[in-house]
Amino acid sequence: MAVNLLSVVIIGRNEGERLPRCLNSVWRMDRPCQLEVIYVDSGSVDRSVSVATEMGAQVLVSRRNSAASGRNAGWQAAHAAWILFLDGDTILHPEFARIALDAVTGGDIAVVWGHRREIRPHLNAYHRVLDLDWVYPPGISEFCGGDALMRRTALEEAGGFDETLIAGEEPELCSRLRGRGYKILHIDAPMTGHDLAITRFSQYWRHAVRAGYAYSNMARRTRNGPQPLWQRDSRNNVIRALVLLSLPPAALAASFLLRSILPAALAVLFLALICLRSAWKSRWKSKDTLTLLLYGIHSHLQQIPIFIGQLTFWNDVRTSRGRGIIEYK
């Protein structure tokens, strides 16, 4: 698909050295057309604004500290028919824009996205497992992530991103786009490298809490719409989390009452088997045995903080409390 101008919208906050790395990858990509580069800052206290200006980007300041607000400010100021959204902690693959534009074969495609992977997947166990969370099969999908190429007219029709959301703004927008007859296309091509920058368990925990908050929010918002999202995911998480939270104390109590180690041993065996089962089912994502084993554990361990995120959301609904963005970095 031939275009004369591509707008690249980068959002960020206190990205440090990650931002110039991102901007460099944009300027150095295989350019299918002229570029318009816009950086939207969300209250950085480092040199992000001055760095972006020095590197040739148009700089805007977001109305509020949220990804949705930043992206809206960016695409509304852009002039191109296609907007490439990037997070400031990513590195753009040099061929993605060209491949993505060529993949647009009809007017019903509103979003094109590719593979986002971690830049340092073997840095630690957190990066290993969360890198595999980025892996999705190619084809028509229900939603995309923060890095994606979007059709401007589709954004205008849908009204852009919902700025009341603190997480899950991309899937929510995709749900509305699909309700209007548009398609979300995931192509089998590298798109971005991502710097997760998680080195502590507390960061991993908050990352999962944020996901749980988004699950409940999206399930509630889209439940009566034409394209409901994450209904089953939110329900399954509740069941899995309750099992994981109740099984260990129940097994220990049974072992104490029966004066036998058997109930506790069976509980441990059950947990080990479900982790191994998840690792086996995910083998299409990786050929690394250690990574798959860790991913199997992660698949179940994360159910607890995700459940806490869901509870947090529903408590906010009950108390009519507004909540700021849930950060993990």
For residue 98, give every residue at least 6 positions away whose Cβ sits within 8 Å of its Cβ, in sequence order, or none.
30, 32
- Check residue 17 and give its pLDDT: 87
* CA separation for the pair 14, 29 (Å, rounded): 24
Judged against a pLDDT cut of 70, whether residue 281 lies above it is answered with yes
| Averaged pLDDT score across all residues of the chain | 91
pLDDT at 165: 84
What is the number of residues in the chain? 329
Tracing tokens 């509980």 back to the chain, one arrives at 267
Cα separation of the two ends of the chain: 38
pLDDT in tens, 122-159: 999 999 999 999 999 999 999 998 899 999 999 999 99
Question: What does the pLDDT average to over 228-243?
Answer: 91
Kindly tell me the sign of the dihedral angle through the C-alpha atoms of 68, 74, 76, 79: negative
Residue 184: strand pairing partners: 111, 141
Q: Which two tokens stand for residue 50?
A: 């001055």
| Of 187 and 164, more confident | 187
Query: So what's the pLDDT on residue 189?
Result: 95
Q: pTM of whole model > 0.85?
A: yes
In the chain the domains, ranked by start, together with CATH numbers, are 5-198 (3.90.550.10), 200-329 (no CATH)
Q: Read off φ and ψ for residue 4, nearest 5 degrees.
A: -95, -25
Q: How confident is the model at residue 1 (pLDDT cuts 50, 70, 90)?
A: low
**Two tokens, residue 111:** 């979003």
Average pLDDT on 209-225 reads 88
At 324 the pLDDT is 64
Over residues 85-100, mean pLDDT: 95
pLDDT reading at 64 higher than 60: yes
Give the number of other Cβ atoms within 10 Å of residue 240's Cβ: 18
pLDDT band at 10 (very low <50, low <70, confident <90, very high): very high
What is the pLDDT averaged over residues 30-50? 88
pLDDT at 280 over 80: yes
| pLDDT, tens digit (0-9, with 9 covering 90-100), for 167-193 | 888 999 999 999 999 999 999 999 999
Section 235-241 average pLDDT: 95
Mean pLDDT of 109-120: 95
